[in-house]
Amino acid sequence: MAVPKVCGTETEYGVVLRGAPDPNPVLASSVLINSYVEQRKVGWDFEDESPGRDARGYAREGTQAPEIETHLVNTVLTNGARYYVDHAHPEYSTPECADALELVLADKAGERVLAKSMQAASRLLEPGQSIVVYKNNSDGKGNSYGCHENYLVDRTVPFSSLVRYLLPWFVTRQVFTGAGKVGSENGAAAVDYQLSQRADFFEEEVGLETTLKRPIVNTRDEPHADPQLYRRLHVIAGDANLCEVATFLKVGTTAIVLGMIEDEFLESGPGARKEWSLAGPVPAMRTVSHDPTCRAQIELADGRRMSAVELQWEFLRLAKKYADETGLELCGGEDVGGQVLTRWEAVLSALEDDPMSLDGQLDWVTKRNLLDAYVERDGLTWSDPKLALLDLQYHDVRPDRSLYERLVRAGKVERLVDEQDVQEAITEPPGSTRAYFRGTCLARWPEAVVAANWDSLILDVGGDPLKRIPMMEPLRGTRAHVEPLFASVDSPAELVARLAS
Amino acid sequence: MPEQQRRQRPAPKERVEETEELPATSERGEKLKGELDDLLDEIDEVLEINAEDFVKSYVQKGGE
């Protein structure tokens, strides 16, 4: 049975320390985050972290909470987000959100946090040095870093069902999730331009890895919630998007597809198709990404061939039936879910007729149109480094340098959220999930919050031992639940006392 | 959103009308091209200098 699709993204940003003789990305990331959170930092609590646990039912030997990294900067923000150094990148995990539109807001606020961090860091660096971050997923030289999505999923759904439908889902959704990339890498066939930053890096169908032999479906099993009830589906097969429409569709459609999988709608709903499996999902990932016409045929397990867009129409056809029969209350709500269906249909129609008409909605199209304009004006060939530079700088997060932001300011990009709301989301948590409780505690009593993680908070209320407040249910601790409680207490000690009673 | 409306594909019937009003369309096309040229000029101003070196020096090791 479907459970509410609480969702979030974790974005690793590319980072460069310029003007330093021996730039160290770990140090640069730490400086960046420290500069942002100059005020008292609240540490992250690793107690419940187990990234080595596999959804297929076993734990990898020797995988523990990432002890080695605990000395790195790791902090929680008043908007409920986690902002930290992951390996050699600054990483921003949005607070838990209840629907795709909230997530667009939280994800965009993350970009603003990074931009503010760069500004703040410039005051700490030596003259002539600067830190620059990019919201992309590849350096074009075989190194990739992720933008992962997370969705709350019913624990009773067999993981094999998720795998069965998610493989064709992740392969085909690239037609709207791709952030666009000049050239190919990691041994992939040469291509001028492709849909996805990430497609060249997937080498397995299913697995636990995230950094080598990347699997299309990742099996990390860390629910960050009641493990008897929930999974957290950890998606690594997506690009970091700047276009709000792309983020909205990526998350909104995936939430609905997950609802359909949980309710067994894709296999036994009215008019369900018999065959969803692809003959070769790993090569199909590249086939789809390497074809900007969106017409390339991929083979299904039964030998038939269809394009990614055609298979997407099949998902959409059933999603509309699902909405009619079951409703979308658990997949982002009727309002936002309905908007997702409408947009999904419009985008598939446009991809069929003329993909380039999606300028300003999808990143891969928006960037491609910009590059095409340069190719035409300057007579460039696709191997010209200027095109690679334009590709990279599209993702530059500095507002004055970002080519994406230039296009926004020129009115060429469609926005789904108000900038004023984005500015608020830099400090305010969404009201719809437990992020509200986490963020509000931090904003009100920063001194008392000793540590925090996704599913608990540790408070020092003075005298007694530290108090751990479990938050195992992602939809408890919302504004509706706890605003009256916060209004009626004056101290963290009172809060703990009230929660205990 | 005006941008949105402009981008929308016209229905087939409208397209026929558009070809009949060729001069107006190309005038509009000129204006759009002019806007795009201005935008590219503006972007030229903020592009990193020495594309080749800049792209070469962008290396990201370790992630996820």
Residue A159 has a pLDDT of 96
| Record: contact A89-B37, CB cut-off 8 A | no
Q: Is the CB of residue A307 less than 8 Å from the CB of residue A298?
A: yes
Measure in Å the smallest separation between the Cα of B29 and chain A Cα atoms.
14
- Among A262-266, A270-274, A277-281, A477-481, name the one with the lowest average pLDDT: A270-274
Residue A55 has a pLDDT of 76
Residue A60 has a pLDDT of 54
The mean per-residue pLDDT over the stretch A135-144 comes to 96
- Domain segments of chain B as ranges: 2-57
Which of B9, B46, B52 is opposite residue A385, by nearest beta carbon?
A: B52
Residue B12 has a pLDDT of 44
Which of B4, B9, B55 is opposite residue A353, by nearest beta carbon?
A: B9
Which position has the token pair 């942002």? A36
Which one from A45, A86, A221, A396 is the annotated catalytic residue?
A: A86
Contact B6/A at CB under 8 A? no
| Record: contact B51-A389, CB cut-off 8 A | yes
Distances (CA, A) of A274 to A79, A165, A448: 44, 12, 56
Which among A345, A364, A246 is positioned nearest to A294, based on CA atoms?
Answer: A364
Q: pLDDT > 90: what percent of chain A?
A: 85
pLDDT of A190-223, one tens digit each?
Answer: 999 999 999 999 999 999 988 889 999 999 999 9
pLDDT of A432-473, one tens digit each?
Answer: 999 999 999 999 999 999 999 999 999 999 877 999 999 999
Instruction: Say yes or no to pLDDT of B38 above 50.
Output: yes
More confidently predicted of A337 and A65: A337
Q: Under 8 Å CB-to-CB from A474, ≥6 apart: which residues?
A: A4, A6, A96, A152, A224, A225, A230, A433, A434
Alpha helices in A379-418 (DSSP H): 385-394, 403-409
Highest mean pLDDT: which of A46-55, A120-129, A183-192? A183-192
Residue A373 has a pLDDT of 97
pLDDT interval class at A21 (50, 70, 90): confident
pLDDT interval class at A63 (50, 70, 90): very low
- Among A33-37, A71-75, A424-428, B17-21, name the one with the lowest average pLDDT: B17-21
- Reported ipTM: the value is 0.90
Which of B7, B39, B55 is opposite residue A410, by nearest beta carbon?
A: B39
Q: How many CA atoms lie within 13 A of A267 on its CB side?
A: 10
Residue B34 has a pLDDT of 84
Q: Under 8 Å CB-to-CB from A159, ≥6 apart: which residues?
A: A55, A56, A219, A231
Q: Which of residues 42-61 of B touch A (CB under 8 A)?
A: 42-43, 46-48, 51-52, 54-61
Which among A249, A255, A132, A139 is positioned nearest to A198, based on CA atoms?
Answer: A139
Instruction: Say yes or no to pLDDT of A66 above 60.
Output: no
Average of per-residue pLDDT values in chain B: 72
Cα A210 from Cα A212, distance rounded (Å): 6
Residue B3 has a pLDDT of 43
| Record: contact B58-A140, CB cut-off 8 A | yes
More confidently predicted of B3 and A432: A432
Cα A192 from Cα B45, distance rounded (Å): 25
Cα B28 from Cα A397, distance rounded (Å): 33
The mean per-residue pLDDT over the stretch A482-501 comes to 95
| Record: contact A145-B47, CB cut-off 8 A | no
B27 burial type by CB count under 10 A (0-12 exposed, 13-18 middle, 19+ buried): exposed
Q: Which DSSP category does A330 fall into?
A: T
Which residue ranges form the domains of chain A, and what is each CATH number? 7-355+414-424 (3.30.590), 356-409 (no CATH), 431-500 (no CATH)
Radius of gyration of chain B measured on its C-alpha atoms: 20
Residue B25 has a pLDDT of 62
Angle of helix A100-122 relative to helix A333-353, nearest 10 degrees, comes to 80
Average of per-residue pLDDT values in chain A: 93
- 3-state SS string for A271-321: CCCCCCCECCHHHHHHHHHCCCCCCCEEEECCCCEEEHHHHHHHHHHHHHH
pLDDT of B11-31, one tens digit each?
Answer: 444 444 444 445 556 777 788
Cα A381 from Cα A149, distance rounded (Å): 35
The mean per-residue pLDDT over the stretch A242-271 comes to 96
Is A86 known to be catalytic? yes
Cα A196 from Cα A180, distance rounded (Å): 5
Cα A176 from Cα A247, distance rounded (Å): 9
| Record: contact A89-B59, CB cut-off 8 A | no
Contact B16/A at CB under 8 A? no
| Record: contact A145-B3, CB cut-off 8 A | no
